[in-house]
Chain A
Amino acid sequence: MRDGERRWRRVVGTPLGLSAAALVLAVLTLAVLGPVLWGDAATAVDTDDILAGPSAEHWAGTDNLGRDILARVLVATRLSMLLALAAVVIAVTAGLVLGSAPFLLGRRSGRLVSAAVNVAVAFPGLLLALFFAVVFGVGATGAVLAIGLSGAPVFARLTQTLVAGVAARDYVSAARVAGVGRLRVLFRHVLPNIAEPLVVNATIGAGGALLSFAGLSFLGLGVQSPSYDWGRLLYDGAGAVYVNPAAALAPGAAVLVAGLAFNLLGESVAKGFGVPVLGEVRGRRRTGSGDATHQDAAHEAAPETARVTDEAPTAEDVVLDVRDLRVTFPGPSGPVRPVRGVSFSVRRGEAVGIVGESGSGKSLTALAVSRLVDDDGTVEASRLAFLGHDLRTTPTPAERRMLGTNLAMVFQDPMTSFNPTQRIGHQLAEVATTHLGMSRREAMDRAVERLDSVRIDDAVERVRRYPHEFSGGMRQRAMIGMGLMGTPALIVADEPTTALDVTVQQQVLDLLAAIRAADDVALVLISHDVTVVGEVCDRVLVMYAGRIVEELPAADLATAARHPYTRALVAAVPDMATDLEAPLATIAGRPVDPAEVPPGCAYAARCPLADARCRAQDPPLESTAGGRVACWHAGEPLPLLEISRPAEDPAEDLAENLVETP
């Protein structure tokens, strides 16, 4: 009940919903009171004052018998509404019968009915209405039947979809298994559950029926004289439009307002209740937002700590140099900053890994250094240079070409990272035609060659294929091949193997390693998987809550990690000695919500070494022998039970901490 109330409040809370509801109420009131109040005025004949324009006495003028048009429009509300509602009742009833037939009749006869409905749905309502108007004859009754039946296929389709959705639920199956008859199941379990969307759509349908009825009456096929509805008044008025335009405009406005009111009320209720609407096309939603979670900058109490320590001034062989990188997004309650001051550099031919949990800001860091953060985010840095070009400014055409050929990206999900409507070859060749000035043929030859080099067999034929005709691993290799269309100095690979089968993962990693070795290409590999990073990279950056908490040589990961978080990540990786009977190790607690970063060390809440200082002061990123670490207790021995067993919900924690959900 409370829930319903809240939803209604949400409907009338919008200006559109509120005004639609008010209008519907007004129209219904008018339908009841109209004939009582203005019935006499609407039929009073005054032959001395025919076809007059608007005047003080007759606001919308008079018709060919001198009757007041405004009064007639007001009185016609009742008949127009009654006819429209009758038509909707017919449409919904017939739709319900046809739509639930597949459920009641079983597969074979049901299929026949739904096929018939599908054929009927293809024809526009007006055409069906004309057909039925011929069958039932010209007049109000015929028109009600015609409009009602012509609306039936759409409601049948809707009912069918809704019934199919409910029928798949457990309690319906349970009832069926328990031997309850189909009809009984339909009335007891199915219909009550689809009533809400049906009523909402019937409201929209009422608006539509009102407009259709006006259309039929306007054609002279609906209500016949001496009765009159809005359509009939329109029909009469349109004939006299040069003499008294108001005679056409007044009923037209009435139809429009009433039709719109029902329509918009239905749409608003549908939106407020989250109910599907007839023929609605929904935009595709991106699944999950990766690392681009938000963090409230207001909570960022810590001062600027990520200072660059012993990084030498950019050397000749530095491909990518990043200092104090910050990324900010506007959030519902102020700006949030998922990347809070990240500094690192990548040398030619070097492989740098970035590891961290979901929400640590690692993917966003990758996007930011590649200048690919969506333009609602703000990227700031004291230095952001790729091959000596400053990436903080809007790139010149030459710089864009430089980026397009020298910086290659490999994204997480090869299924969605190719354009589904273009052939693979075209998508590769595009790089060469755009940036290298190649002809289409030259570019296509290069695409074939590159696909070949990433070990895609039969590349000549494959370039003509669409992405959906490739397997996942093949697509990811093609993506790498696309990066090789230029002469990349750096490949940024964001979780390149996460979406792939284990067997295919290794091939992709091997391929990246081979390219790196052959062409001295630098690699930035972002992964939640410490093992992958340790295997491929020279150096590892560990990120937590938008900062680098430790940097160390990959070889030291297992043995010489100093930050408790790094050590926990490493310890959470199962190995051959792991007891398979026991639950897998996890890091206790949850990752920091980037919107609520606590003061002090962001990891303190989960850290077994944390003390009062950790909770108050954010540790700076200090240089160490092998790299950098940001921890007040770096390298201190951990208490024995540092890796806790999952406490509350093992599955959930596992999912979050070990396997990053794409």
Chain B
Amino acid sequence: MTITASSVAGTPPLPAPRARTALRDRTWLRFAVRRLGRLLVSLWVLVTASFAMIHLIPGDPVRGALGPTAPADLVEARREALGLNDPLLSQYADYLRALFTGDLGTSLSSQLPVSDVIAQRLPATLSLAVLAFAGAVAVAIPLGVAMGVLTRRGHGRRTELAFTTSSVVVATVPDFLIGIGLVYVFGVNLAWLPVAGNETPSAYVLPVLALAIGPAAILARIVRVEMVGVLEADFVRTARAKRLSPRRIYLGHALPNAVTAALTLGGLLLSAMVAGTVLVENVFAWPGLGSTIVQSILTKDYPVVQAIVLVYGIGVLVTNTVVDVALALLDPRSMIRED
């Protein structure tokens, strides 16, 4: 675990400072290389899966897309256009090559380049996910910290019970059901907020809420549990022995330690949120990738589906990597712990 060369106190032989810094850099380097390697492998798996998707479909996907009544020569022409008649390996090579040049193919239904479709739809989805995540974190961390402080060491048993029960229940409600509930209350009943599209800023309110409420409950719960655990830790007692202000103890010493575990989970939540946009977008007729992928699955527009799966997958992988790096910065031990 310990990286320092000299572990026994007294007068150990001292490596030069420069050597130590190098040692430290090497830890970082090893971490970065390993993490990057994992990202690349995952990316390769993702790309291959998205390529394989169309080939895994039983029967002829083009025949399936065009329907049993489509003339045979049209099917054949479409197969040719999609390159489905080439040997599998060369199709794979073509697919990879095209990806590197940013060519995602052509939509079967609109005949537009898929990259245009993505470029047009991605911002709506991205803004939704980012806003929801930021909102969830902004609510969950203060809430979890406050709850942790209130319920530490067996204090506030009733508060604890009320909080855990309600957060479990809230967290179990899937986002699209929350969305439908919100539509009913704020759209239909009160008619306060728009329930479809993304033209006005107020149109963001309900979809963001629908997406953020569940993860916020989970995150707050984790932060509380971690906080309660951390507040029992010896180093918090040390901080108290230093007579720091409660604010400093809770926010300066306890929170960073509580947040590392919450962050690990936060990464999972963020990637789940990326996927959650699919359902929420369909509730609110949000013009993003989520509504597009569902339409494309229904119309069997495979190039679009493949591309959107890729985009979602990359989003998830990048998120996970960012979280790991953030973790390493916050808590350097996590670099070593990974092995």
Q: Find the A residue at minimum CB distance from B254.
A: A419
CB of A522 closer than 8 Å to a CB of B: no
User: Closest Cβ of chain B: how far from A530's Cβ, in Å?
Assistant: 25
User: Which chain A positions have C-beta within 8 A of B1?
Assistant: 468
Q: How far is the CA of A574 from the CA of B45 in the complex (A)?
A: 64
Is A284 close to B, CB under 8 A? yes
- Bound-state CA distance A404–B238 (Å) is 11
Whether A659 is near chain B, meaning CB under 8 Å from some CB there, is no
Q: Does B225 contact A (CB under 8 A)?
A: yes
Contact B14 A458 (CB under 8 A): yes
Contacts A123-B271, A281-B222, A457-B11 given; does A469 touch B239 at CB 8 Å = no
Q: A284-B233, A417-B238 are in contact. Are A434 and B244 (CB under 8 A)?
A: yes
A387 within 8 A of partner (CB): no
Task: Say whether B115 faces chain A, with CB atoms less than 8 Å apart.
Answer: no
- Chain A residues numbered 117-167 whose CB sits less than 8 Å from any CB in chain B: 119, 122-127, 130-131, 133-135, 137-138
What chain A residues lie within 8 Å of B176 (beta carbons)? Answer: 215, 218
Is there a chain B Cβ closer than 8 Å to A470's Cβ? Answer: yes
**B235 contacts A119, C-beta separation under 8 Å:** no
What are the interface flags for B222-238 relative to A under an 8 Å C-beta threshold, 1 for contact and 0 otherwise? 10011011101111011
Which of A34-42, A260-268, A311-319, A643-651 makes up part of the contact surface?
Answer: A260-268
Q: How far is the CB of A138 from chain B (nearest CB, A)?
A: 6
1/0 contact string of A429-453 vs chain B (CB within 8 Å): 0110011000000000000000000
Tell me the bound Cα distance from A510 to B204 in angstroms. 66
A503 proximal to B (CB < 8 A): yes
| Cα(A212)–Cα(B234), bound, Å | 43
Q: Please tell me if the beta carbons of B238 and A418 are within 8 angstroms of each other in the complex.
A: yes
Judge whether A382 is part of the interface by a CB distance below 8 angstroms: no
Q: Which residue of chain A is the closest to B228 with respect to CB atoms? A: A283
Q: Which residue of A lies closest to B333 (CB)?
A: A468
Q: Are A234 and B180 in contact (CB under 8 A)?
A: yes
A106 adjacent to chain B (CB < 8 Å): no
Q: How far is the CB of A69 from chain B (nearest CB, A)?
A: 15
A333-377 to B contact mask, C-beta < 8 Å, 1/0? 000000000000000000000000000000000000010101110
Q: Nearest-CB distance from B335 to chain A (Å)? A: 11
Identify B17's interface contact among A248, A260, A458, CB under 8 A: A458
**Binary B-proximity of A160-183 (CB < 8 A = 1, otherwise 0):** 000000000000000000000000
Tell me if B28 is interfacial: C-beta within 8 Å of chain A: no
Shortest distance between the CB of B264 and any CB in chain A (Å) = 8
B298 adjacent to A434 (CB under 8 Å): no
Q: Which interface residue of B9, B226, B283, B333 has the most chain A CB atoms within 10 A?
A: B9
Q: Which of A532-585 contact B (CB under 8 A)?
A: none
Across-interface contacts of B294 in A (CB, < 8 A): 219-221
Stretch at the interface among A79-87, A186-194, A408-416: A408-416
Q: Mark A3-17, 1 if CB is under 8 A from B, else 0.
A: 000000000000010
- Cα-based distance from A284 to B181 in the complex (angstroms): 37
CB <8 Å contact, A138 and B11: no
Cα distance A430–B177 in the bound complex, in angstroms: 49
Expressed in whole angstroms, the Cα–Cα distance for A234 and B180 within the complex equals 9
Q: Is the CB of B153 within 8 A of A419?
A: no
Contact B4 A138 (CB under 8 A): no
B282: Cβ under 8 A from any A Cβ: yes
Stretch touching chain B among A90-98, A238-246, A599-607: A238-246
Closest to A416 in B: B234
As a 0/1 sequence over residues 392 to 417 of chain A, the CB contacts with chain B under 8 angstroms (1 = contact) are 00010000110110010101010011
Total interface residues on B, CB under 8 Å, equals 94
A642 to B: closest C-beta gap in Å:
38
Q: Give 1 or 0 for each of A452-493: 1 = CB within 8 Å of chain B CB.
A: 000101100100011011110110010100100000000000
| Assembly CA distance A403 to B245 (angstroms) | 13
Give chain A residues whose Cβ lies under 8 Å from the Cβ of B57.
134-135, 137
Chain A residues contacting B332 (CB-CB under 8 Å) are 466, 468
Closest to B236 in A: A419
Q: Is the CB of B241 within 8 A of A409?
A: yes
| Contacting pair B313 A249 (CB below 8 A) | no
> Contact: A457 with B12, CB < 8 Å?
yes
Task: Pick from B172, B187, B241: contact of A207, CB below 8 A.
Answer: B172
What are 14 A-B pairs at a CB distance below 8 A? A125-B275, A131-B49, A234-B180, A248-B184, A255-B177, A284-B229, A284-B232, A372-B237, A404-B243, A419-B253, A457-B11, A468-B2, A471-B4, A479-B238
Query: CB within 8 Å of A: which residues of B?
Result: 1-4, 6-12, 14, 17, 20, 41-42, 45, 49, 53, 56-58, 64, 153-155, 165, 168-169, 172-174, 176-177, 180-181, 183-184, 187-189, 222, 225-226, 228-230, 232-235, 237-245, 248, 253, 256-257, 260-261, 264-265, 268, 271-272, 274-276, 278-279, 282-283, 293-294, 297-298, 302, 305, 309, 312-313, 316-317, 320, 330-333
A interface with B by C-beta (< 8 Å): 16, 115-116, 119, 122-127, 130-131, 133-135, 137-138, 207, 211-212, 214-215, 218-221, 234, 238, 241-242, 245, 248-249, 252, 255-256, 259-260, 263-264, 267, 279, 281-286, 330, 370, 372, 374-376, 395, 400-401, 403-404, 407, 409, 411, 413, 416-422, 430-431, 434-435, 455, 457-458, 461, 465-466, 468-471, 473-474, 477, 479, 482, 503-504, 507
